[in-house]
Structure 1
Amino acid sequence: MRALKSIREFIEEGGKLFHPGISLDCVIFGFHDNQLKVLLLKMEHTDDWALPGGFVYKEEDLEAAATRVLQERTGINNIFLQQFHVFGNPSRSDREYQSNWLRKWNIPAGKGSWLLNRFVTVGFYALVEFSHVTPTPDNISVASEWHHLHNIDNLFMDHRKILDTALETLRWQLNHQPIGYNLLPDKFTMPELLTLYETILGKKLDRRNFRRRMNSYGILRKLKEKRKGCAHKAPYLYSFDLRKYQKALQEGLQGRW
């Protein structure tokens, strides 16, 4: 598998190296300042923003391709990654945008024609710890930035649908799997965990019931430390019991929020 370093090489050689008609798009969620954030790329020569994505090398496993894209865009390894949907509307591709790229780089039609084909894209979502990420644009983007989930406009092609479907899936899986290990720092308070759940679900939860239910899962460790610098009574810090957390991921949890 050979890395393509320049845009021209990517366009001219991609048809030989990538699996035809298959792409992937990644919804990267982070949590910061009590807000759910999404990492986006600013497209060149357009006002649109896009989800990080890419193509799959012919000899590459699909999940390995998604992991590669995520590592390149975030700079971190061991990312929680999950495939959630396949998007195959025949009209989803923006062939005009791709044609403009071919003209800009004066690429012969035969060498760049693979970009004008129909692409079915596989959606993945990732959960990352915000402070660990180094947002990095790809070679056809001018910027990579975090955006508040509810302040996102002008998304490329069908990326709004992909983002909305990822959020729906994350909310559904919140009823069956623990969430937080990949989004929160190593030590956190119960109110911070509650805020994370409320932010993802888009609704308020009863504080006492939430605490009781989270403790019943057995995935939390209450530490002897307290959060410093609080104006009122300092809350205790918690961490996840990683072994029990991983077991809960595999076996699932019961109940709905």
Structure 2
Amino acid sequence: MPQEKINHSNASPYLSELTLDCVILSFHEDCLKVLLLRWKGTQEWSLPGGPIRRNEAVDAAANRILKERTGLDDIFLQQFHVFGEVERYNREEIKYKLKHLIDPDKWYERAVSVGYYALVDHAKAMPTPDPFTEQCAWWDVQQIPALLFDHNRIIQVARQALRTQLSWQPIGYNLLPEKFTLPELQRLYEAILGKGLDPRNFQRKMLSLGILERLAERRRGGAFKSPYLYRFKKEEYELKLKESNLFFS
């Protein structure tokens, strides 16, 4: 999220014209969710983000912003792209829409943004607005409105990175609760890949990998028979990720 330009002198606590944009993702009710902020006095939404302090590493800045927005520590975080085009969006339109919050003369002349995606437990996150916004809420990635800046594109690039990295990053481990059913695991993969998967083939592959432990418990309360609950064997899961062996075509 481009932020207010404080000062270009060495007295500024922030790096000039370098910002972060964070695509914070969770999985809830069989849907992939993204955390968005609504700016004060508007119906305009954008991604969380902000400037980087002069005395902090870029990854540390991303972790700070994520904790401020979700209340969570130790989040899985992955840098996925740098958005450095000269004309990323209509700056004059943004200045006009947010002039009641930020002096139009104080916007960066140009902002290069480092994109991160983060994977969080939906139940544990506590969405919290920043000083420029009054609402922080989860949105289904399939129902995102037109966002400020170039944030629709940033989400699109993040989702593509997530699909590409699904076979060698601990996506499932970070988006699912500790205990889950095989259908829930399949729906997570389908939400990320954007397509359906054959249930028999999916379950056969996941069980053959040796990364899941079947528990004695079952998921109760559904309309159909109660499926067994599973959890990841973390060491085996990480080994298979190193082999890039979780790919589904």
The gaps in structure 2 that reach 5 residues or longer are none
Distance 2:5 2:87 in 1: 21
Deviation at 1:252, TM superposition (A): 3.0
1:84 to 2:80 alignment: yes
Distance 1:183 1:248 in 2: 18
Distance 1:77 1:91 in 2: 34
Distance 1:79 1:183 in 2: 11
Give a deviation string over 1:157-189, Cα, whole Å, max 9, x none.
Answer: 100110000011111112334421111111100
Tell me the SS of whatever aligns to 1:168: helix
Deviation at 1:98, TM superposition (A): 4.7
The equivalent residue for 1:245 is 237
Give a deviation string over 1:178-230, Cα, whole Å, max 9, x none.
Answer: 42111111110001101111111111111111111112222211111111223
Distance 2:72 2:103 in 1: 35
Decide whether aligned partners of structure 1 residues 151 and 204 sit closer, same or farther in structure 2, where only a CA change above 3 A counts: same
Deviation at 1:117, TM superposition (A): 2.4
1:183 to 2:179 alignment: no
Tell me whether 13-22 or 184-193 shows the greater mean CA deviation.
13-22
1:64 to 2:56 alignment: no
The equivalent residue for 2:126 is 134
Residue 191 of structure 1 aligns with an amino acid whose one-letter code is P
Tell me the SS of whatever aligns to 1:67: helix
User: How many pairs align?
Assistant: 244
Deviation at 1:74, TM superposition (A): 0.4
4+ residue stretches of structure 1 with deviation over 4 A?
10-15, 98-107
Matches for 1:63-212 after TM superposition, within 5 Å: 63-92=59-88, 95-96=91-92, 97-98=94-95, 112=106, 115-212=107-204
Q: TM-score normalized by structure 1?
A: 0.86
Aligned sequence identity (%)? 46
Tell me the SS of whatever aligns to 1:167: helix
Deviation at 1:88, TM superposition (A): 1.1
The gaps in structure 1 that reach 5 residues or longer are 1-6
Q: CA RMSD in A?
A: 2.4
Q: TM-score normalized by structure 2?
A: 0.88
